[in-house]
Homo-oligomer: A and B are copies of this chain.
Amino acid sequence: MWLNASCLIEFQISVPTPFLLMLRPRSGSQQWIMREEYLLSPSVPALEFTDMFGNLCQRIVAPAGNFTVSTSVDIETTDESDTAPGSPFIEVQLLPPDVLPFLYPSRYCESDRFTEMAASVTANQSPGYDQCNAIVNYVRKSIRYTPGIGQQIISASEVNQLGQGVCRDMAHLGIACCRALSIPARMVVGYLEGLEPMDLHAWFEAYVGNRWYTFDPTQPDLKGGRIAIAFGRDAADVAIYTQFGNPVDLLNMNVQVKKMTGPGYHSKAQ
C-alpha cells in the first residue's frame, strides 16, 4: 500500500526555544520511504542524530515569532499487519540484547505493578502471542477510547483506574501488562491510514516468536496502512516534539494520510 502522510505543526514562540523533534520516519523492514519532505519555516540550523532506539532526531532552536514544522512522506507499507496466533513466548535468556530494554518498567508503564493483573487477564492462554492478544482484548473492553481527552500524560496504573484514555494511554496499559509477563513490548508513534478522527497515532509492539508484532488496542481490527515514526519504551521516549524552557503556544497541528495509486504519483506532478 502506498501512502502519503503529512504533519504540519505551527507554534507561536516568545523567546528562542530549544526543541527536540522526531519527525523523520526511517525506512526499515516494514516500510520504505520513497519521498520525504521536512521544512522548517523560517529556516533555522538543525542538527540530526540517532537516538539509542535508532530513531532519527532533530535539534533546533526555534526563533521567536511564528514557527512552522511541516513534514510529508510518500511511503510503501504493508496492507495488513501480521498476526501470529500461537506464536511462542521467547525465554529471556534467548532474547536479542537490543530487545531487553523493553522488558523493564518505564515512566508510563509501571509493569512492576501489573504482575497479578497480567496473570489474571491471560489465564489459560498459551504463553506468547495469545497472551498479548488477551491483553489487548482486555484493554479494548475495559478502557473507553476517548480521543481528545488527555493533555497530561498519565501512566498505565492511572489509565487502569480511570477507565478511559487516548491511544497512547491504551498502548501504555497493554505494554505494562506484556512486560509484567516478561514479554518485551515497545511503544510506536506514527500514522494510521483511515484513523477517525485523523491524528498522529500510538500503538505497541510485542516481541514473541522471535520478532516484533503489532498490537493496537484502539482499533477493532488489526489494520495495516501504518507508518512508524518512532519507537521507544513509552511516550517519554517518542514525543514527536519536546520543547524545553518556557511553554510555547501550539497554534495548529494538522495530520493527513492519503492513499496513493503508486510510487510515481508525486514525482510525476513536478
Measured between beta carbons, the chain B residues less than 8 angstroms from A110 are 107
Q: Are A43 and B263 in contact (CB under 8 A)?
A: yes
Tell yes or no: A54 within 8 A of B by CB.
Answer: yes
Tell me the dominant secondary structure on chain A's binding face. Answer: mixed
Could you say which of A91-99, A162-170, A200-208 contacts chain B?
A91-99
Copies of this chain present in the complex amount to 4
In the complex the two chains form, what is the Cα distance from A270 to B49 in whole Å? Answer: 29
The interface on chain A, measured as residues whose beta carbon lies within 8 A of the other chain's beta carbons, has a size of 61
Tell yes or no: A224 within 8 A of B by CB.
Answer: no
Distance (Å) between the CB of A33 and the closest chain B CB?
7
Q: Are B27 and A182 in contact (CB under 8 A)?
A: no
> Counting chain B CB atoms within 10 Å of each CB, which of A27, A32, A34, A98 scores highest?
A32
Q: Are A270 and B266 in contact (CB under 8 A)?
A: yes
Measured between beta carbons, the chain B residues less than 8 angstroms from A241 are none
Contact A35:B34 (CB < 8 A) given known A153-B112, A263-B43: no
Q: Are A32 and B46 in contact (CB under 8 A)?
A: yes
Q: Mark A99-130, 1 if CB is under 8 A from B, else 0.
A: 01100111101101000000000000000000
Subset of 10 A-B contacts with CB under 8 Å: A27-B56, A32-B46, A39-B264, A52-B98, A57-B97, A92-B244, A106-B107, A106-B236, A107-B107, A270-B270
